[in-house]
Structure 1
Amino acid sequence: MHEIIVEKESNGMAVTALVLGIVGLVIGLIPFIGWFMLPLWFLAIIFGLIGRTKHYQRGMANAGIILGLIAVIYKFGFWVLIFYLGSL
């Protein structure tokens, strides 16, 4: 009898992007400590873009990109808003 071995395809870059996006966003919400997550946000975006090149698990890659972008927009947008309101 012949055994059929089926390897499940995985997308390591997409999984990495999702994990970095989640960790970066959650810890990024903590005041003063959140800025240390800046590399994670950009790595989530970069790994997500690389992970999108494969045709499977693209949803994880997209989620990593979105979470990384949300964290960047949140942190930089907050300071832009503070400087804008301070100049009024």
Structure 2
Amino acid sequence: MENQMEARQQGNGMAVSALVLGLVGLVLGLVPFLGWFMLPAWILAIVFGAVGLKKGQSKGMSWTGIVLGIITFIYKFGFWILVAIGASTST
């Protein structure tokens, strides 16, 4: 009986947090200038997703949070890298 109670009390908090932060980070990351304020959300989505996987929480939500955090991170930094390369070659 005790094991069942412990299993019920353990939720998917980290996995849900990773998913929500990943989604919010992606959506607000597309907004110019505002997106950079979401940098902590991208990083936390990746971290919370990894912790959720380690704790055995929902794999789907954890992986989705990790992937969304990484995609947004690459998108934002990749965009500025491409802008810098384009500016240096268009002389």
SS at match of 2:54: coil
1:58 deviation in Å?
Answer: 1.0
Note if 1:75 corresponds to 2:76.
yes
Query: In 1, are the aligned partners of 2:15 and 2:57 still within 8 Å (CA)?
Result: no
- Using the aligned pairs only, state the percent identity: 57
CA positional deviation for 1:8: 7.1
Instruction: Answer whether contact 2:46 2:66 (CA < 8 A) is retained.
Output: yes
Give the TM-score, by structure 1 length. Answer: 0.88
The root-mean-square deviation of aligned C-alpha atoms, in Å, is 1.6
Task: Tell me if the contact between 2:25 and 2:72 (Cα under 8 Å) persists in the aligned partners.
Answer: yes
Mapped contact 1:11–1:54 kept (Cα < 8 A): no
Cα distance in 2 between the residues matched to 1:37 and 1:21: 10
* Alignment-derived partner of residue 27 in structure 1: 28
Aligned equivalents of 2:62 and 2:86: distance in 1?
A: 36
Structure 1: stretches of 5+ with no match in the other structure: none
Deviations 1:18-41 (A, max 9, x none): 000000110010001110000000
Q: Which has the higher helix share?
A: 2
Check whether the contact 2:14–2:57 (CA below 8 A) recurs between aligned residues.
no
Alignment correspondent of 1:45 = 46
Amino acid at match of 1:55: G
Pairwise CA distance, 1:10: 2.2
Q: In structure 1, what is the Cα distance between the partners aligned to 2:59 and 2:8?
A: 18
Taking structure 2 as the reference length, what is the TM-score of the superposition? Answer: 0.85
